[in-house]
Amino acid sequence: MTKSCRQLRMGLHGYGFIGRTHVLASQLSLASSRPCPHIVWDTAVVHDLASPAAALARQTFRTVTDDVHAFLREDLDAVSIASPNDAHMAALASALQNRLAVYCEKPLSGFLDESRRMAEMVEAAGVVHQVALMYRFHPAVIDAYHWLRSGRLGRVLTFRAELLHGGYLDPNRPMAWRLRQAQAGGGALTDLGVHLIDLLLHLLGPVQRLATELRTFVSSRPGSRGSEAVTVDDWALARLDMQSGAVGTLEVSRVHVGRERDGIEIVCEGGVLYIPLDREARAEIWSPTGEPLSGPTLDSHPVLAPMPAKFAQTAHLNAHAVSIAVFALRAAGEEIAYPVPTFHEALAAERLVDAMRTSAEEGGKLVTVST
């Protein structure tokens, strides 16, 4: 790393929607003067050098290649893995050979055994690692974390967590890797549910029991060779019993058109806390008496500050900007006093995804979660 100008030279594996989001998020972080190293995007590894994605990458990256071993170059500091889930392992192995810091999209892999191996690999390599479970850095989640830790709201009674999106309701939307079990490892539960599971573990602690139902509503889609079967879920609903005694539900959907919403509602003895994940806002608190509650004093690192209004974009992109800024700061050797989602936290969430899938396969059976 060039310490004099605090630059972090990064490679990127995959330049689809989420890869471009990582690049855009880093630029938003820079534009908003977030206190972290400047990310310089150096090398992009893409699947097809003749693709539109490769053409776009050439406008940003010094080097664009289809060779994952490009991450072995000595002048890189870190790599972002934003490729399809089944391609993460190869990119990780190459990055770790060069002892690069690793920023990886969720899930680590679509398959629990491989995710477990990936977590073991980064631990053995001793590198800085982080997963893009970026909702942890939403200002309302940071507020909620401090509220719940302060104890001012008392015992948590119930909760409801929702990520309801609608992008896959149209049956004419073409087949894609996210709709194939062999590539994605799962559907709405794996893609969206892992975000909510991570937040519930982050805010409310371990899960004791769960029961889950999965549904696929659009069973086939247009493919390159005609109709192709969809092999992942469109919707998931889970009941969760926490070790703390709290009980609640988690619902995720990719067919919820028209009234899409993302949020978590937490009912406590001393009030109700709402986290609006779909907009840039602070946590909302209601007390039983209707009187305003004074929040806990926050002593957070400035990198976690909400996005200034004149630079704020969507809540989704803003959270990505803070997340990748935190990673850049940590890759430069600085830590922050807030729980960061590393490979270990991602693995914990993916273990619960696996338990939920087991429950659904057994007809929604109540499953005890092993610790």
How much is the pTM? 0.95
Amino acid at 332: A
Beta-bridge mates of residue 253: 164, 235
- State residue 73's pLDDT score: 79
- State residue 141's pLDDT score: 98
In a structure prediction context, what are the per-residue pLDDT tens digits for the chain, which is 371 residues long?
A: 444 348 999 999 999 999 999 999 999 999 999 999 999 999 999 999 999 999 999 999 999 999 999 999 778 999 999 999 999 999 999 999 999 999 999 999 989 999 999 999 999 999 999 999 999 999 999 999 999 999 999 999 999 999 999 999 999 999 999 999 999 999 999 999 999 999 999 999 999 999 999 999 999 999 988 999 999 999 999 999 999 999 999 999 999 998 899 999 999 999 999 999 999 999 999 988 877 676 776 668 999 999 999 999 999 999 999 999 999 999 999 999 999 999 999 999 999 999 999 999 999 999 999 86
The per-residue pLDDT for range 249-299, each reduced to its tens digit, is: 999 999 999 889 999 999 999 999 999 999 999 999 998 887 767 677 666
- State residue 317's pLDDT score: 98
- State residue 289's pLDDT score: 80
- State residue 80's pLDDT score: 99
- State residue 296's pLDDT score: 72
- State residue 297's pLDDT score: 66
CATH number for 139-297+342-368: choose from 3.40.50.11030, 3.30.360.10, 3.40.50.2000, 3.40.50.150: 3.30.360.10
- State residue 287's pLDDT score: 87
The per-residue pLDDT for range 169-219, each reduced to its tens digit, is: 999 999 999 999 999 999 999 999 999 999 999 999 999 999 999 999 999
What residue spans define the domains of the chain? 7-134, 139-297+342-368
What is the CATH topology of the domain spanning 7-134?
Answer: Rossmann fold (3.40.50)
Greatest Cα-to-Cα distance within the chain, rounded to the nearest angstrom: 63
- State residue 4's pLDDT score: 35
| Overall residue count recorded for the chain in this entry | 371
- State residue 3's pLDDT score: 40
